[in-house]
Amino acid sequence: MRYEFMVAGSVSETVEAAFPELTVTKSAAGGTSMYGPVDDDARVRELLERFDDLGISVVEMRRLPD
């Protein structure tokens, strides 16, 4: 499975380093897209908790086609 997490604004290098499993790109709408492989639902929850711990609001999350 692959997931995309959209966050508002840009993210720092520190945040990028906290998610080495995700690819980070700036979106045309002014936010940041972070996407990559996710093994299972437990891993999705872990990533969401990590975003929350860093004070980053996920504005959209979606499963991508494999």
In angstroms, the first-to-last Cα distance of the chain is: 6
- Condensed to tens digits (0 to 9), the pLDDT of residues 11-63 reads 999 999 999 999 999 988 789 999 999 999 999 999 999 999 999 999 999 99
Instruction: Choose the CATH number for 2-64 among 1.10.8, 3.40.50, 1.10.1740, 3.30.70.
Output: 3.30.70
pLDDT of residue 64 exceeding 90, the answer is: yes
> Rg of the chain over CA atoms, in angstroms?
11
Q: What's the pTM value of the predicted model, to 2 decimals?
A: 0.91
pLDDT at 4: 96
3-state secondary structure the chain: CEEEEEECCCCCHHHHHHCCCCEEEECCCCCEEEEEECCCHHHHHHHHHHHHHCCCCEEEEEEECC
23 strand-pairing partners: 35
